[in-house]
Every structure is written in C-alpha cells, then in structure tokens.
C-alpha cells in the first residue's frame, strides 16, 4: 500500500465496538442512554452545589469541577461514536481525530489531578481539621486547578505536534471506538519512538506521582482514624472517603491497566472494554457514587427539585447563584 504524508490524509477509519449490523441499534441506544445519564447526573451535581450556599466549600467546589470535567470527558468520544453508528459509517477526519486526542488527554489529565486534589482535601479535613479553612482556601484551589489546566494544555499540545510529524497509509484503520493516542501511534508507518517515549513518560509522571500522593494521603487518614475512639466519627470519616476511593479505584484501575498491560490485553475487544471502564462507566457512575452516600448532596438535590417544581422561573435564579458562587470561590 502506498504511504502518504500525514498532510494528505483526510480521514481514518474507526473500527468501533462491533461490525455486526444487528447490534448497531442496540449499542446506539445503550450508549445514548449512558451519555444522557452521565451529562444529566453531573449537571445536577453542578447545579446543586452552585444553588446551595451550604455547599460552597472546597470539597464541593472540587466535586463540581470533577463533574464538569466528566461531562467534557465523555463528550469528547461518545457523540462521534453515536453519529457513526447512526450513519453506519466508520470514518473520522484527520482534524477530528487530532482534536479528540487533544481534548481526551486534557480531560483525562484533569480528572487525574482533581482526584488527587480531592484526596488531599480529605487528608487535611480529617488529619488537620482546625487548619482546614487556612490550608484549603478557595483561592488556592482555584489557582491549583488553573495550573492543572495549563499543564494539561501544553502536554496535550506536544502530543498533537509530535503526532503531526508521523505518516499514515491511506485508509488507515484504528482498532478502537475513538482516536486513542496509543492506538493511533501503533498504526503509523513512520518511526514513532519519540512519541511513545513521551507518552509513557507523561503517563508515568501524571499517573504514578498523583497515585503516590493519593496512597500517602489515605495512609495518613487511616493512621489518624485508628487513634480516634469514637465509632460514629470513624464511620463518618470513612463514609466521606469511601466515595472518593471507589472513583479512584475505577479510574486508575482501568486507565493505567490499558496503558501498562499491553502485553496482557492482546485482544482488541478486551482492550476496548477496559477503555470503556474509565471513559464511559466511571463518568456515569460518579454522580451516583457521590450522591447516594452523601446526605448534604441528597439534601441539596431535594431542594433543587423542589424549587424547579414549584417555580419554573427559579432556573434563572439557580443560574445566577451558580455564577455568583463560582466567583466567590475564586475570590
């Protein structure tokens, strides 16, 4: 097959989850349902946190940011997959593929940073409660999140610039349901050694270091809880940490497994199923994990539903409170 320069390649072919035409309507309905549930669930968390003044603290500020990132994260991949299923095509343009890679890596990195910052927030709240408002002040949280955005912007941009130097064959097939960087590099016809080295260095730094911070935070939390005699206090602390630990286990367990166990996941289908866990399932389950075991969130959601049911015009008030709450968190 003749090799074309990347500048002449106009599209790739995404193989998707299945070639069976009878499964396409079922998969379309399933992923459309999961996408809508994810967007609605995370949007409700953002609205609940923004509309309830009792939740205007660092813990829920980080949670609302995580919900926003999860909406963006799943919106990077699923809409294009749904369009291809509906139109029964597999093509994705080169520009769309590069855009997917850029935003996917950006939002995945932001998820990573936010989960780490949330673990540190729980560490400070449990181990240093008297200094919590000083250490976890809103301005510091906002500056850290801004710094994370800047870091991930440049990391993702370097990935794209390096990929732009690669060559691909006409009609290149990507064995995935979206343009995942690792899979795109594998189908390149040129030397991608630099790309692979940079990718695994970034994964190591942005995966291992934050994970180490999470483990250290929870080791200190456990050590502190063991010295507490009150069973009620222990249960309350474990309850607030349990939701975060579930999300961390789901995200890191599947995400790092995809990249670091390529020798184990030889099957393309098994690799895509593993990818589904952290690209689709994790963002969908996060709202349920954080609300079902959190009395404050359930109370805020109840108030939100009551306001909407009693007065449709309160939507504008909720929006104004959401914007005002965001400004106050930063200031």
Cβ atoms of 94 and 9 within 8 Å: the answer is yes
Strand pairing class (168-169; 3-4):
antiparallel
Cβ atoms of 278 and 38 within 8 Å: the answer is no
- pLDDT for the residue 39: 94
Average pLDDT, the chain: 81
| Angle at the Cα of 245 from the Cα atoms of 200 and 281, rounded to 5 degrees | 70
- pLDDT for the residue 3: 41
Q: How far is CA 234 from the centre of its chain?
A: 29
pLDDT category of residue 76 using cuts at 50, 70 and 90? very high
Strand pairing class (11-14; 173-174):
parallel
Q: Tell me the domain boundaries of the chain.
A: 9-330
CATH 2.60.40.10, domain 9-330, yes or no: no
Q: Which residues pair with 13 in a beta bridge?
A: 91, 173
Single pTM value for the model? 0.85
- Spatial neighbors of 297 by CB under 8 A, at least 6 apart, are 45, 48, 55, 60, 290, 291
Cβ atoms of 250 and 285 within 8 Å: the answer is yes
Q: Is the pLDDT confidence value at 65 over 90?
A: yes
Q: Is the pLDDT confidence value at 6 over 50?
A: no
Write the pLDDT tens digit of every residue in 157-180: 999 999 988 888 877 888 888 888
Cβ atoms of 68 and 49 within 8 Å: the answer is no
What beta strand segments (E) does the chain contain? Answer: 3-4, 11-14, 91-93, 168-169, 173-174
């Amino acid at each position: 097959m003749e090799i074309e320069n990347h500048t002449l390649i106009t599209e790739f072919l995404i193989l998707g989850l299945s070639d069976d035409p009878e499964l396409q309507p079922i998969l379309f309905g399933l992923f459309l349902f999961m996408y809508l549930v994810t967007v609605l669930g995370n949007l409700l968390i953002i609205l609940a946190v923004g509309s309830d003044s009792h939740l205007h603290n660092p813990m829920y500020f980080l949670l609302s940011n995580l919900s926003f990132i999860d909406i963006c994260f799943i919106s990077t991949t699923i809409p294009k997959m749904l369009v291809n299923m509906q139109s029964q095509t597999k093509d994705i343009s080169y520009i769309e593929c590069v855009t997917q890679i850029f935003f996917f890596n950006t939002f995945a990195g932001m998820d990573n940073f936010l989960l780490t910052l949330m673990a540190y927030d729980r560490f400070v709240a449990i181990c240093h409660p008297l200094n919590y408002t000083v250490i976890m002040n809103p301005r510091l949280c906002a500056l850290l999140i801004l710094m994370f955005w800047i870091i991930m912007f440049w990391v993702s941009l370097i990935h794209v610039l390096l990929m732009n130097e690669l060559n691909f064959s006409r009609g290149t097939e990507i064995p995935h349901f979206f343009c995942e960087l690792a899979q795109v590099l594998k189908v390149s016809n040129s030397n991608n050694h630099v790309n692979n080295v940079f990718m695994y260095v970034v994964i190591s730094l942005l995966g291992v270091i934050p994970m180490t911070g999470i483990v250290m935070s929870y080791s200190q939390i456990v050590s502190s809880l063991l010295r507490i005699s009150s069973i009620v206090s222990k249960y309350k602390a474990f309850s607030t940490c349990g939701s975060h630990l579930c999300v961390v286990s789901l995200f890191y367990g599947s995400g790092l497994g995809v990249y670091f166990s390529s020798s184990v996941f030889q099957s393309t289908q098994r690799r895509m199923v593993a990818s589904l866990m952290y690209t689709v399932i994790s963002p969908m389950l996060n709202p349920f994990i954080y609300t079902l075991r959190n009395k404050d969130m359930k109370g805020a959601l109840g108030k939100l539903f009551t306001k909407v049911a009693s007065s449709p015009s309160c939507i504008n008030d909720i929006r104004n409170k959401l914007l005002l709450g965001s400004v106050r968190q930063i200031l």
